[in-house]
Amino acid sequence: MARARAAGALVVQPRMGMADPGRMRAGLLATRGARGVTVGTLTLDSYTRTGDLAAVRRALADGAELNGYPIAGHPARTTREVLRGVAGAGFPVQVRHGSAMPEHIVRALLAVGLDATEGGPVSYCLPYSRTPLREAVDAWRRSCELLASAEEFGATPHLETFGGCLMGQLCPPSLLIATSLLEALFFRQHGLRSVSLSYAQQAHPGQDAEALTVLGRLAAELLPDVEHHIVLYAYMGVFPRTPAGAELLLEDAARLAVRAGAARLIVKTTAEAHRIPTVAENVRALEAASAAAADERARRTAAGDPGDGGAGVEDTGIEAEARALVGAVLELDPDIGRALVRAFAAGYLDVPYCLHPDNAGRSRTGLTPDGRLYWSDTGSLPIAGPGGDGPRPPILGSAGLLSALSHVQREYDGRAAAPAPHRHPSAPPGRQARTLPAVPHDVHATTRVGTSTP
């Protein structure tokens, strides 16, 4: 990561996980060989995510297809062979899973020589399980300490918070930023010295640029003694149905990452709205994102504005809200895990539209016609209520919620159908749609992505 950032390149990463070791190795090799600066991914299957290792063993014995790589089901020597000559300092491989109780996963990844994973006590509990938050916090404390113990053997273990991706969409940026920061502080409290903080692309590029700028600024302030970087996820909601619309959305994510100073981008493919993507489609997405990022950097440099992760970004109050949320939680208890549990019990943290029993469920959000997220009801969140002295913003009904969830899909499919000069509003006049780079036809293994990371 450090070398890529020094060179000014955006690091791109797929979601990729296949149960068959040979296909998994081929997927990692294809990722490493893609044009651009890439890192690899082992996305785990749902049985491993939930800790049902007996079901993993039965599936492997029966030859049943799993929806990811069963790192705790294959013998350690099998996974070491998958990684042999592929993973290393020049090509890190991260284990992605979605588990609220991940100790068995951390033990398995350390046993095969890996030391990078992701998740968090909140972000992999509330949206993805019904595990009590208190139990998830305890499990993640033990897992952090276990991962941190790899330092004894010369490793630099890395943990990425998934907190900036809560529910994938319809969470205002301040809550995503606060959760990412609080989980990163939790990781540091339990021994990690290398972390990354996530944010998921939403529906308004200006709001997203402001959010990423705020996240980077607060991370530098709160984590001065920890190696860290910002990672952006390409949009995680209802994806455009047309290939051209999906390409535009991915390109905009790459350009956003460059403008706002993110170091890494998790990509999505043109197949997202229809089926699980192939390895070839993942490589194509990696190369398209890399090309768009390079083009954006070159365009900004030529204009005398290479971007510094914040210049000219509007202040709409995201930073003030994020600071209020983080501050209120940290005041509850010096132990950040206990503070998180108490914060959700008091409604100081409250994820809109999340049905987990430990979530208050009183906050609500909406989407303006141009895609900006807003609070329509803040519940007990320690921030100003919506509307101020003006009229209260509308609360979404079921029809409004469905419309908001498909806003990005309609926007990008519509833009893709428009004449070429209107397809890239951020591009200089006269720029035409770029042809995506070709991918070798022999890279064709199917990617089975786990349900843990949308």
Per residue in 29-70, pLDDT tens? 999 999 999 999 999 999 999 999 999 999 999 999 899 999
Encoded amino acid at 309, one letter: G
| Residues composing the chain | 454
Question: Which pLDDT score, from 0 to 100, does residue 167 have?
Answer: 82
Question: Which pLDDT score, from 0 to 100, does residue 445 have?
Answer: 32
Q: Which structure tokens are listed for 301?
A: 């440099």
- Beta-bridged to residue 117, according to DSSP, are 95, 159
Q: Would you give the distance in Å from CA 258 to the centre of its chain? A: 16
Q: What value does the mean pLDDT take over residues 134-145?
A: 98
Question: Which pLDDT score, from 0 to 100, does residue 447 have?
Answer: 31
Identify the band that residue 454 occupies on the pLDDT scale cut at 50, 70 and 90: very low
User: Do residues 15 and 62 make contact, with C-beta atoms less than 8 angstroms apart?
Assistant: no
Mean pLDDT taken over the chain: 88
User: Do residues 336 and 189 make contact, with C-beta atoms less than 8 angstroms apart?
Assistant: yes
The class level of CATH for 1-454 reads: alpha beta
Question: Which pLDDT score, from 0 to 100, does residue 156 have?
Answer: 95
Question: Which pLDDT score, from 0 to 100, does residue 440 have?
Answer: 30
Per residue in 66-90, pLDDT tens? 999 999 999 999 999 999 999 998 9
Q: Which structure tokens are listed for 122?
A: 């909140």
Q: State what percent of residues in the chain have pLDDT above 70.
A: 87
> What torsion do the CA atoms of 118, 123, 129, 132 make, to the nearest 10 degrees?
110
Per residue in 417-428, pLDDT tens? 887 655 444 433
Whose tokens are 């930073």? That residue is 319
Q: Which structure tokens are listed for 11?
A: 């690091």
Phi and psi at residue 128, in whole multiples of 5°?
-110, -5
Q: Which of 264-268, 411-415, 440-444 has the lowest mean pLDDT?
A: 440-444
Per residue in 115-129, pLDDT tens? 999 999 999 999 889
Per residue in 202-230, pLDDT tens? 999 999 999 999 999 999 999 999 999 99
> What torsion do the CA atoms of 231, 234, 236, 241 make, to the nearest 10 degrees?
-170
d(CA 452, CA 454): 6
Identify the band that residue 390 occupies on the pLDDT scale cut at 50, 70 and 90: low
SS3 state of residue 214: helix
Angle 410-208-239 (CA atoms, 0-180°, nearest 5)? Answer: 30
d(CA 70, CA 78): 11
Per residue in 292-325, pLDDT tens? 999 999 998 888 875 555 667 889 999 999 999 9
Q: Which structure tokens are listed for 159?
A: 């943990």
d(CA 196, CA 230): 6
d(CA 176, CA 375): 13
Question: Which pLDDT score, from 0 to 100, does residue 169 have?
Answer: 78
Question: Which pLDDT score, from 0 to 100, does residue 403 have?
Answer: 81
User: Do residues 27 and 16 make contact, with C-beta atoms less than 8 angstroms apart?
Assistant: yes
